[in-house]
Amino acid sequence: MNILFKNIRVINPVENLDKIVNLFIKDGIIEHCANEECVVDSSTEIIDGSQLVAAPGFIDIHTHLREPGFEYKETIKSGTDAAANGGFTGVVCMPNTEPTIDDVTVVEYIKNKSKDLLVDVFIAGSLSQKREGKLISPMLELDDAGVVMFTDDGHCVESSEMLRRAFDYATTRDLLISEHCEEHSLTKNFAMDECELSIKLGLKGYPRIAEELIVARDILLAEYCGNRRLHLQHISTKGSIELIRNAKSKGLRVSCEVTPHHLFLSNDLLDSYNTNLKMNPPLRSKEDIKALIEGIKDGTIDCIATDHAPHALHEKEVEFEKAPYGITGLETSIGLILNNLHHSLDIELNKIIELLSINPRKILNLKQIEIKKGEKVNLTIFAPNEEWVVSSKKFMSISKNMPYENLKLKGRPKFAINNGKIWSSTL
C-alpha cells in the first residue's frame, strides 16, 4: 500500500495541525507529511488531494454489529465493511448480542472474528449479566479481556442500588460506565415522542422526562460514588442537555453522545408512519434539536455516535407499533454531519473532527493519533465539498433500514486507512 496524496489538507486538533501537505504512505507508515515535494517510485499510486481532508481516524462509539446471534441483520465483517465504507476506522460494538457480551469467551470470539480487519473493533461489555439488571457482570475479568466500557445498552439499569454497586466495582480501575437513559415504567410499548402528534396518530408516547429522570439519577449517583466516569448514550432532549451542562460545570466526569438522526430529524416526520423513523430514544421536537445543536457548539456534547442499528427488511415492513427501534447509520453519518453541521451551520471541520475522533478517544482512554513521519497510519479521508446521493444499493451493511434514500448530501467519505489497509468508499 504505497500512496501519495498530493496537496491534501491535513487536520489534527491534538497536534494543532491544519495545513496543506504532500502525504506519502508506504507499507502502512507515514513516510512524508510536509509541503515539500516527495519523490516516489512507479509502484506508488498518486492521488490528487486538493479537494480532500485527512483526519485522525474516526471512531463510532456506539455500533451494533449484531454478531453473535443475529447474523441475518449484520455480521462483524459486514458491519466493519460498512464502517470503513462510511469513513470510520474504529467502532465500539454494543453488548446486546446472543449470547450477551457478559463473558470473556464472547469477548474472545469477537476479538478473533475482528482480527486483521481494517476497522478496529472495541468491545462494550454488559454491565449486568444477560443485561437483566439483576446481577453485575464479571467486570474486572471483562476489563482484563480488553472491554472498553460497560453498558446494558437498550436497557436502562432500573435499580439504583444495582447501579451504585456497579460504580463501586468500577472504582478500583476507574472503569467507564455507559447508560441508556430511559425510565421504562414511563415508556413501555412506546412508538414515538410524546407530543400532540402522538395523540393525533394514536401512538403511545415516550415523554422527555423518562430520559431526563435517568440522566439526573445517574449523574447524582456518579457524583455520590466518588465522581466516577459516566457516559450517557444518545441524548435527545433539551432537559438532558441542561442537566449534563450543569454536571460538567461542577467538574463531574460526565460525557455524552448524540446521534445524527436526533440532530437532523424531528418528530413531525412521524405522520408518514415510516418505520425507518422509529427509534429509541424517539425523534424529538425542533426545540430539542436546537438545544442539541447548542450542546454541540458549547462542548456539552462530547461526540456524535451513529447508534448503527441494523434490522432485516421483514422486521421493519410491519405495522408501526410492531416495528423494532433503530436505523443504520455508519454509511450516512459523515455525509449528514458535513452537510448539516459544516455547510448549513458553519461549524468548523476542526470541531467535527473533535466530535468524531479526538473526543471518543478521550472518553475511551485511547491513545490519540498523530499524523507525522514515522507514525502508523490511521486516517479518515473525506471530500468536504463533494456532493452525492444516498443509495442503499451501494451500502456494505446487510440491512438497509434508514430514512435517507435518495437524499442529496454535500460532504463525502472517500478513504479509510488503518492497519496497513485502505478502503475506497463506494458511496
Q: Is 38 helix (H, G, I), strand (E, B) or coil?
A: coil
Contacts of 156 (CB under 8 A, 6+ apart): 133, 179, 180, 181, 182, 183, 184, 214
**How, if at all, do strands 29-34 and 17-26 pair?**
antiparallel
DSSP class of residue 237? Answer: -
Polymer length of the chain: 427
Rg from Cα positions in the chain: 21
Task: Give residue 66's region: left, alpha or beta (phi > 0; psi -120 to 50).
Answer: left
Nearest to 110 by CA among 120, 128, 123: 123
Identify residue 296 by its one-letter amino acid code.
I
Identify the active-site residue in 81, 143, 153, 307.
307
> What is the C-alpha to C-alpha distance for residues 164 and 170, in angstroms, rounded to an integer?
10
307 is catalytic: yes
Other CB atoms within a 10 A radius of the CB of residue 320 amount to 17
C-alpha cell at position 16: 494543532
- Using the structure block, give the residue that is written with the C-alpha cell 429509541: 280
Catalytic residues: 307
